[in-house]
């Protein structure tokens, strides 16, 4: 199986590039942000709890997030592999993912880091906020999301370097150039 972690700050292009990767490699796509937004839309108990945290730019607790991810993973059938978008976001989540995959004699094939400067992230997310109305795409919440990313999520770069899976991609510029770089990184590992 081809298991890809697509990684980067809010607005770095994880969702955009995931769609292209899914199309090329026929993978299943698990976006934990999309899962949570669907729960919010359904007004479930989980959705109501998640909304408060998401609107404040904070992470959902690890144990809850890991069990949501595990349920999504277990529900897949005949999968060629998975692109993990927005997960893991903490070292505890990365360790849990490795354990889950190892249980099935699988592992992460590559962790693709999309590197984009903060001023560009802010511009992209404010623009998307105007167009799509995503509740966490406002200046105040974006700033909090970036702080949380820098403090809790960016240490995963080192974690994946130590695990031998980290691939650096310059995420600034043309969509197709970025995608070609991602494909080259993935193909060098399969
Ligand atoms: P999540 O939904 O994962 O949001 P995020 O990480 O903040 O990232 P985004 O989805 O905003 O950006 P993206 O990198 O996907 O970029 P996109 O392709 O959309 O998480 C939301 C919240 O849920 C979290 O804050 C947290 O509260 C919670 N959560 C989720 N997972 C969790 C977990 N594992 N643990 C705990 N909590 C969790 O692109 C952004 C915009 O830029 C788009 O408009 C796009 O068109 C544009 N764009 C893309 N590429 C380019 C380019 N090359 N040039 C110009 N514009 C571009
Ligand atoms: Mg996204």
pLDDT tens, 96-152?
Answer: 999 999 999 999 999 999 999 999 999 999 999 999 889 999 999 999 999 999 999
The pick from 12, 15, 55, 170 for probing ligand 1's pocket by mutation, whose C-beta has the most ligand atoms within 8 angstroms, reads 15
The answer, yes or no, to whether residue 73 has pLDDT greater than 90, is yes
Known catalytic residue: 177? no
pLDDT for position 133: 81
Nearest CA to ligand 1 atom 7: 10
Whole-model pTM above 0.95? yes
pLDDT tens digits, one per residue of 84-93: 999 999 999 9
Known catalytic residue: 128? yes
Average pLDDT, the chain: 97
pLDDT for position 158: 98
Q: Please tell me whether the peptide bond between 88 and the residue prior to it is cis, using omega within 30 degrees of 0.
A: yes
pLDDT for position 132: 83
Nearest CA to ligand 1 atom 6: 10
- Indicate the helix (H) or strand (E) that contains 63: helix 62-74
The pick from 8, 53, 124, 176 for probing ligand 1's pocket by mutation, whose C-beta has the most ligand atoms within 8 angstroms, reads 124
Q: Which is nearest to 154 in space by CA: 56, 25, 47, 8?
A: 8
Nearest CA to ligand 1 atom 5: 10
Burial of residue 16 (number of CB atoms within 10 Å: 0-12, 13-18, 19+): middle
- Report helix, strand or coil for 112: strand
What's the whole-number mean pLDDT along residues 164-185?
98
Known catalytic residue: 24? no
For ligand 1, whether the C-beta of 165 sits within 6 Å is no
Identified catalytic residue from 14, 51, 124, 165: 14
- Report helix, strand or coil for 169: strand
Known catalytic residue: 14? yes
What's the whole-number mean pLDDT along residues 60-85?
97
**Alpha-carbon torsion angle 26, 168, 67, 146, nearest 10:** -120
pLDDT for position 161: 98
Give the confidence band of 71 by pLDDT, cuts at 50, 70, 90.
Answer: very high
Identified catalytic residue from 41, 48, 80, 128: 128
Interatomic CA distance for residues 130 and 155, integer angstroms = 31
Cα diameter, the chain:
44
> Tokens 């060098």 identify what position?
188
For 66, phi then psi, to 5°, come to -65, -40
Evaluate whether 58 touches 71 at the Cβ level (below 8 Å).
Answer: no
Known catalytic residue: 37? no
- Considering every ligand atom shown, identify the ligand nearest to the alpha carbon of residue 36 and give its number: 1
């Amino acid at each position: 199986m081809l298991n890809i972690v697509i990684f980067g700050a809010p607005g770095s292009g994880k969702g955009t590039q995931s769609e292209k990767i899914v199309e090329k490699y026929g993978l299943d796509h698990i976006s934990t942000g999309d899962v949570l937004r669907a729960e919010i839309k359904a007004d479930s108990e989980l959705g109501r709890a998640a909304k408060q945290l998401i609107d404040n730019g904070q992470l959902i607790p690890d144990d809850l997030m890991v069990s949501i991810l595990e349920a999504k993973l277990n529900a897949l059938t005949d999968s060629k592999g998975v692109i993990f978008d927005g997960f893991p976001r903490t070292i505890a989540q990365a360790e849990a993912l490795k354990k889950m995959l190892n249980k099935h004699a699988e592992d992460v094939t590559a962790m693709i880091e999309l590197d984009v400067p903060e001023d560009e992230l802010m511009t992209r997310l404010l623009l998307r906020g105007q167009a799509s109305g995503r509740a966490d795409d406002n200046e105040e919440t974006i700033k909090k999301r970036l702080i949380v990313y820098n403090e809790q999520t960016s240490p995963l770069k080192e974690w994946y370097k130590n695990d031998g899976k980290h691939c650096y991609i310059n995420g600034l510029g043309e969509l197709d150039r970025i995608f070609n770089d991602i494909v080259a990184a993935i193909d060098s590992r399969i």
